[in-house]
Amino acid sequence: MAKRDYYEVLGVSRDAGQTDLKKAYRRIAMKHHPDRNPDDKESESKFKEASEAFEVLSDDEKRARYNQFGHAGVEGQSSAGAADFADIFGDIFGDIFGARHGGRGGGRRQGADLQYHLELNLEEAVQGVSRNIRVPTKVHCSTCGGSGARKGTEPVQCSACGGIGQVRIQQGFFSVQQTCPRCRGEGKQIKDPCSACRGSGVIEESRTLSVKVPAGVDTGDRIRLSGEGQVGARGGPSGDLYVRIEVRPHSVFERDGADLHCDIPIGFVDAALGNDLEVPTLSGRVKLKIPAETQTGKLFRLRGKGITPVRGGPPGDLLYRLVVETPVKLTSRQRELLDEFRRIQEEQGSRQSPRRQSWFDGVRRFVESLRG
């Protein structure tokens, strides 16, 4: 397969300076370095291609030959591809690997954080609750104490890297540093692995944890359980467990921050004449006085009957929205009464339906304006 143009590989113009070349190479290497993409052949190929391009273009003499003769002018002179995708210049890649290049490998490393999704109903979220959860995780092997070595033995220092976890290979003028292939960066080797964990230092098990959910939590809130995450490598400290809250939809109330909303259907007779209704709250029922001539969409507010936020502050409100319901499946007698009511209402005109009359007046003026 024909090689791509080196400038195209790095995504720079042909007159790019050394600073632009380094920035372009750094961006590609940060994304495709094999240590960040294990077992990803495509990333390895892209990293190798970018390393080769950078080695040529960052050298003025090689770049001049490449600009004049193309790939033929530098054929056989690039050593980046033979460096097992390692770093060419340490100052460019110092933050890809962090402390791994400077410190010794195989030390205690903190375990990864875990996340658990906990579903609650609205009442539990508002009032707070304690729940037991079962979490599958890995823990230190009790047989070997997390070392991975058979009881009574210890891991030994890697003879290839001297316990550093990295080895240096000389490639022409370049000193290349890469992960030690023998200990895989650990710095130590296990000659006699533990039979219980097979040398990994950890075993899988499930734990039951008690989670205290504070009052007022909402969907998306997280509770941190320190040290309950994935176990650390080689006896290192465990990560944390984050319990993410998911509040299920409620059949009656809808939450909006600290406020609660509730739709209340009422008949048009109650809306016209008024009535006292029993309405729900999270702590029981209360009476709500519906005044006569109430229109659909009217809001009634009970202050302080909402939710107290988990991070503090005053409780929210409980808002009721009245929805006037049209009766269905009318009897013949009900139809007679409603027909009579309609005739009487038409005689009264706009006095009893001001919004309806105002709307029709607006429509009439709009149609007349269209006619000119």
Section 298-327 average pLDDT:
93
148 compared with 124, residue with greater pLDDT? 124
Q: What is the pLDDT of residue 315?
A: 94
- Say if residue 185 is in the same domain as residue 216: no
Q: Are residues 26 and 76 in the same domain?
A: yes
Q: What is the rounded distance in angstroms from the CA atom of residue 202 to the CA atom of residue 190? A: 14
User: What's the pLDDT score for residue 197?
Assistant: 85
299 and 359: one domain? no
For 88-103, letters b (16+ CB in 10 Å) and e give: beeebbeeebeeebee
Average pLDDT, the chain: 82
Residues 276-298 pLDDT 10s: 999 999 889 999 999 999 999 99
pLDDT at 298: 94
Residue 345 falls inside a structural domain: yes
Cβ atoms within 10 A of the Cβ of 105, count?
Answer: 20
Q: Which candidate, 232, 235, 236, places its Cα nearest to that of 114?
A: 232
Supply the DSSP string of 210-222, one letter for each residue: EEEEPTT--TT-E
Task: Give me Rg for the CA atoms of the chain.
Answer: 37
- Quote the domain boundaries for residue 148: 106-152+196-248
The band of 87, judged by pLDDT with boundaries at 50, 70 and 90, is very low
Same domain, 145 and 239: yes
Residue 364 is predicted with a pLDDT of 82
Query: How far apart, in whole angstroms, are the C-alpha atoms of residue 242 and residue 115?
Result: 5
Look at residue 91 and tell me whether its pLDDT is greater than 50: no
- For 11-63, write each residue's pLDDT tens digit: 999 989 988 898 888 888 878 877 677 778 888 888 888 888 888 898 888 89
pTM for the predicted model, two decimal places:
0.54
Domain total in the chain? 5
For residue range 204-236, what is the model confidence (pLDDT) as tens digits?
888 899 999 999 999 999 999 998 888 776 567
* Residue 226 sits in the same domain as residue 355: no
